[in-house]
């Protein structure tokens, strides 16, 4: 059995050395066995349970140097991140992630151990979410790309779309946001390599960027609590609230004083001379959820009210139209990372 450890010690076996079928075998060796009665990886298609007669599906691409960097993130972290961002989309519909399918395109000279470690990261995050890996494809290419499709189950709940927010709904988020953006800012400033035993919180922010750990249960809990609209915060809080505002035909107001902070965010902001609320408002990739609820709803544990919906259009932050960095467009600013 080829494991990421044994390969990295030899430091020589490339994807081209292994070949397509050898690589598939190496990846399959690190995936957990299929649950009983479920047909997973290894045939033309997987056969997966969809117990309430519906399946939720979402797909995403991750491109090297646009969505991840191999010199900034360990391969396992890249696998975790790829899985997490897709399964967060499933949670944002009010569903429980059940299965993941992946495509990996890599140049032949990449170490097979790198691919195996990516698969290990995906498998670990699927395990954390209670989902299985149900299929995969590997192929050669000039650059590294991951394609992920996540499936999920609503377990009888109605899906929560982006379009159901109504005037007077309260706006809430499932947890603090901005840690990933803060971690990225620390990376860009080179502060992740400083001796920092005294600043473990800063390293945790870097880790939050490299290896997001969404709370998948927050989505189904919000759906059960009557959420009227919901979205995964991936492009940035304000940018993603913009999608809810547009789809629902409402204005969304955010009160920045209500944004939940953390000591880590405050430390990083002090270190970099920044305002952590800018990370919360503009940064994406935490994969917390934002949702609107009827005014009378009892919010699930962990959710924090940060504003409300009202008649109108667009986003107001502290009663002003938001003019900051409103999210990340992968073409207009291609080649760099969101600042």
Binders in 14-53 for a second copy, by CB under 8 A: 15-16, 18-21, 23, 39, 42-53
Question: 273 or 335, CB closer to a second copy?
Answer: 335
Shortest CB 9 distance to a second copy, Å:
22
Going across the sheet that includes 304-310, the strands are: 229-232, 289-293, 170-173, 304-310, 251-254, 314-317, 320-321
The span from the CA of 247 to the CA of 221, in Å, is: 22
CB of 200 to a second copy, least distance (A): 33
Give the shortest CB-34-to-a second copy separation in angstroms.
12
Here's the x/- map for a second copy, 317-336, by CB under 8 A: it reads as ------------xxxx-x--
Size of the site for a second copy (CB under 8 A): 73
Cα(201)–Cα(9) distance, rounded to whole angstroms?
32
Residue 134 sits in the site that holds a second copy (CB under 8 A):
yes
Q: Which range touches a second copy (CB under 8 A), out of 156-164, 171-179, 250-258, 263-271? A: 156-164
Q: Could you tell me how far CA 298 lies from the centroid of its own chain?
A: 26
Q: What character string, x for contact with a second copy (CB under 8 A) and - otherwise, covers 166-205?
A: ----------------------------------------
Q: Considering only the stretches 27-35, 97-105, 120-128, 271-279, report the one whose residues sit in contact with a second copy under the rule CB under 8 A.
A: 97-105
If one counts every other C-beta atom within 10 angstroms of the C-beta of residue 313, the result is 12
161 binds a second copy (CB under 8 A): yes
**According to the binding rule CB under 8 A, does residue 314 interact with a second copy?**
no
Give long-range contacts, CB 8 A cutoff, 24+ apart: 11-16. Answer: 11/111, 13/111, 13/112, 13/113, 14/108, 14/109, 14/110, 14/111, 14/112, 15/106, 15/107, 15/108, 15/109, 15/110, 15/111, 15/112, 15/115, 15/138, 15/140, 16/108, 16/109, 16/140
Q: Which of 80, 82, 99, 221 binds a second copy (CB under 8 A)?
A: 99
Is 101 among the residues that bind a second copy (CB under 8 A)? yes
Contacts (CB under 8 A) with a second copy, residues 219-278 = 230-232, 247
The piece of 124-132, 152-160, 171-179, 182-190 that touches a second copy (CB under 8 A) is 152-160
Within 267-306, which residues bind a second copy (CB under 8 A)?
A: none
Distance spanning both ends of the chain, measured CA to CA: 42
Site for a second copy contains 90 (CB under 8 A): yes
- What does the alpha-carbon distance between residue 246 and residue 250 come to, in Å, rounded to a whole number? 7
Q: Nearest approach, Cβ of 146 to a second copy (angstroms)?
A: 9
Instruction: Report the residue from 7, 31, 151, 171 that binds a second copy according to the rule CB under 8 A.
Output: 151
CB of 295 to a second copy, least distance (A): 24
Q: Is 63 a binder of a second copy (CB under 8 A)?
A: yes
As beta bridge partners, residue 304 has 173
Residue 144's CB: how many other CB atoms inside 10 A? 20
| 263-272 and 200-210 helices, crossing angle to 10° | 100
Measured distance CA(78)–CA(101) in Å, rounded? 15
What the block records as the tokens of 127 is 């395990």
């Amino acid at each position: 059995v080829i494991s990421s450890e044994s390969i990295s010690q030899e430091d020589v076996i490339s994807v081209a050395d292994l070949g397509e079928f050898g690589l598939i075998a190496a990846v399959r060796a690190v995936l957990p066995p299929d649950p009983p009665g479920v047909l997973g990886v290894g045939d033309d298609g997987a056969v997966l349970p969809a117990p309430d007669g519906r399946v939720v599906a979402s797909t995403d691409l991750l491109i090297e140097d646009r969505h991840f960097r191999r010199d900034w993130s360990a391969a396992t972290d890249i696998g975790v991140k790829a899985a997490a961002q897709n399964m967060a989309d499933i949670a944002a519909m009010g569903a429980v992630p059940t299965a993941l399918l992946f495509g990996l395109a890599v140049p032949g000279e990449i170490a097979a151990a790198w691919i195996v470690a990516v698969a290990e990261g995906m498998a670990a995050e699927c395990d954390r979410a209670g989902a299985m890996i149900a299929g995969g494809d590997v192929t050669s290419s000039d650059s590294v790309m991951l394609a992920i499709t996540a499936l999920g189950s609503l377990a009888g709940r109605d899906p929560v779309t982006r379009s159901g927010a109504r005037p007077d709904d309260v706006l809430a988020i499932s947890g603090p946001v901005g840690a990933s953006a803060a971690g990225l800012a620390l990376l860009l400033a080179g502060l992740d390599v400083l001796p920092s035993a005294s600043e473990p919180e800063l390293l945790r922010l870097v880790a939050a960027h490299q290896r997001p750990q969404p709370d998948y249960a927050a989505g189904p809990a919000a759906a059960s609590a009557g959420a009227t609209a919901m979205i995964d915060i991936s492009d940035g809080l304000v940018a993603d609230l913009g999608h809810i505002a547009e789809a629902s035909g409402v204005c969304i107001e955010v009160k920045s004083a209500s944004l939940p902070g953390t000591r880590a965010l405050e430390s990083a902001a002090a270190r970099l001379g920044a305002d952590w609320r800018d990370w919360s408002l503009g940064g994406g990739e935490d994969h917390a959820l934002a949702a609107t609820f009827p005014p009378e709803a009892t919010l699930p544990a962990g959710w924090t009210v940060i504003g409300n919906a009202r008649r109108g259009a667009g986003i107001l932050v502290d009663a002003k139209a938001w003019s900051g960095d409103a999210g990340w467009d992968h073409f207009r600013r291609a080649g760099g990372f969101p600042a």
